[in-house]
Amino acid sequence: MESTYFPVPFAKLPSNIQIEELKDFNLNVGSVCVRAQRANHPGHCVGYRLFSPEGLVAFFPDTEPRQGGEDREMIEFLRDVDVLILDSQYDSAEYKKHIGWGHGCVDDSVALAVQAGVKRLCLFHHDPDHDDKKIDSLVRHARRLVAGRRAKLKVDAARELQTIVLPFKSVFSPQLMAIAPPSKLMTRTFTSFNSRIRPRRPPAPDNVSTIRRYKRKPARCRKKIQPSSGTEILRCMK
């Protein structure tokens, strides 16, 4: 907001705005682990990778993917996410006139997503001069690019009021374990358990092995839960 790229003086914004400065690129928001990564955009701009028990989501609303998706650091940051919401403002002809502006070309977005093993790409940051017909044509073009690469990537255009349901995943996925120790994951996990299985007493977050008894818990779950037994934890949630 301090950058010269923001044309409206901050004092002229008619609202009560509270800003929390991003000081750490690894943080938690409730039960979701968040990692930040600098975006390719003028000024200071970042995107996010969200780790949740339900799946992995990456959000880069303002960035210019490298041509051909050749960006090893970004590829690794986006590796295997379930949903990527990515700045894909221009078609290839428009992009030639806007190189360096900090916004993406659909062709490069698809190339990046395919190389990163992304499962679903949502084209985002639509050009204000594009109507629905133009956006639909960009989606069709992106899907043709995916077919040409013989990839399994799904492509859609992000739209208002859209809801995407993520597939449930083990809380002990390798991606999540890489940024948080099991004890912290268990603390967050049992917070979400409470809405499904009411414990007779609050579980001890630092001593996972002592958590045993729950109301209505099936017999197969009546044993000590170790941090490595993610399968057993998932069974308890059913």
Please give the CATH architecture assigned to the domain spanning 10-157. 4-Layer Sandwich (3.60)
Q: What's the rounded Cα separation, in Å, for the pair 137 and 152?
A: 20
Contact between residue 39 and residue 58 where contact means Cβ atoms under 8 Å apart: no
CB neighbours of residue 12 within 10 Å: 6
Residue 14 confidence (pLDDT) above 50: yes
pLDDT digits (tens, 9 = 90+) for 125-178: 999 999 999 999 999 999 999 999 999 999 999 998 989 888 766 444 454 445
Pairing of strands 26-29, 46-52: unpaired
Residue 115 confidence (pLDDT) above 50: yes
3-state secondary structure of 177: helix
For the chain, what is the largest distance between any 2 Cα atoms, rounded to a whole number of angstroms?
65
Residue 4 confidence (pLDDT) above 70: no
> How much is the mean pLDDT over the chain?
76
3-state secondary structure of 176: helix
Residue 1 confidence (pLDDT) above 80: no
Contact between residue 66 and residue 105 where contact means Cβ atoms under 8 Å apart: no
pTM of the full predicted structure? 0.68
pLDDT digits (tens, 9 = 90+) for 194-207: 333 333 344 444 44
Q: What's the rounded Cα separation, in Å, for the pair 84 and 69?
A: 14
Domain boundaries, the chain: 10-157, 181-237
The alpha carbon dihedral of 96, 123, 172, 169 has a sign of negative
pLDDT category at 121 given cuts 50, 70, 90 is: very high
Measured in residues, the chain has a length of 238
What average pLDDT does the segment 66-93 reach?
Answer: 95
How much is the pLDDT for 3? 61
